[in-house]
């Protein structure tokens, strides 16, 4: 069986994921380019895809037709799927439910900050980040956003960047074990304890 790259996610998604993979069109917006003949209008689609269990992707595609833009955005979203790291707020009881630490993502003027929340809080967020966080598999999370959040594309990209930063942040529990070695003074203490005897200088004959 022959697959294109983006079809791997569709084929193996049902096997890997505990829940069905879902995709959602976040927005379709017309964009224009000024030409000699007037304006050329195209449609830009933003699509999010996730399995609600630790994987999420975001795709953006511009095309002359709405259907083509959505189809292209879905393909790009499948190609940009990333793993999501989840953690705990407080005690490590049960399954991970929130972000492991405070993370930030930025796109344009929009800055999104994700803050861990206690179990049962839910997703305290605007509608756009809430969809992405839900698809990523987060159950509880506080959010903070600054900038022109009405620009949905940048808002979604900033949230996606913040979610991607969960695995980019090196927390102490991911540190490799430190192997301590003796200092040179301790390692060569026997040699250093010996009295220093000055050796006579050898004469060099030419």
Predicted confidence (pLDDT) per residue in 128-171, tens digit? 999 999 999 999 999 999 999 999 999 999 999 999 999 998 88
pLDDT band at 5 (very low <50, low <70, confident <90, very high): low
Q: Can you give the pTM of this predicted structure?
A: 0.79
Q: Determine how many CB atoms are found less than 10 A away from the CB of residue 60.
A: 19
Cα(70)–Cα(156) distance, integer angstroms: 16
The stretch 182-201 carries a mean pLDDT of 88
Cα(14)–Cα(31) distance, integer angstroms: 35
Q: What is the mean pLDDT of the chain?
A: 89
pLDDT band at 17 (very low <50, low <70, confident <90, very high): very low
Tell how strand 123-124 and strand 22-35 pair up: unpaired
Hey, what are 123's tokens? 């997703």
Strand-pair partners of 115? 142
Per the rule left: phi > 0, alpha: psi between -120 and 50, beta: everything else, 10 is alpha
Ranges of H-type helices in 17-142: 66-79, 127-136
Strand-pair partners of 33? 40
């Amino acid at each position: 069986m022959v697959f294109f790259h983006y079809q791997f996610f569709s084929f193996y998604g049902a096997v890997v994921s505990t829940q069905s993979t879902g995709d959602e069109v976040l927005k379709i917006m017309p964009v224009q380019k000024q030409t000699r003949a007037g304006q050329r209008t195209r449609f830009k689609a933003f699509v999010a895809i996730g399995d609600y269990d630790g994987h999420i992707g975001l795709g953006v595609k511009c095309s002359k037709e709405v259907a083509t833009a959505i189809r292209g955005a879905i393909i790009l979203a499948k190609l940009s799927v990333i793993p999501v790291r989840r953690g705990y707020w407080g005690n490590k009881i049960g399954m991970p439910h929130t972000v492991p630490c405070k993370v930030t993502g930025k796109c344009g003027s929009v800055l999104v900050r994700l803050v861990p929340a206690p179990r049962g809080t839910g997703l305290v967020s605007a509608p756009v980040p809430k969809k992405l966080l839900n698809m990523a598999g987060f159950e509880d999370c506080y959010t903070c956003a600054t900038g022109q959040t009405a620009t949905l594309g940048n808002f979604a990209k900033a949230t996606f960047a913040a979610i991607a930063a969960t695995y980019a942040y090196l927390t102490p529990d991911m540190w490799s074990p430190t192997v301590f070695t003796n200092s040179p003074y301790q390692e060569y203490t026997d040699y250093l304890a010996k009295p220093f005897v000055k050796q006579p200088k050898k004469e060099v004959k030419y």
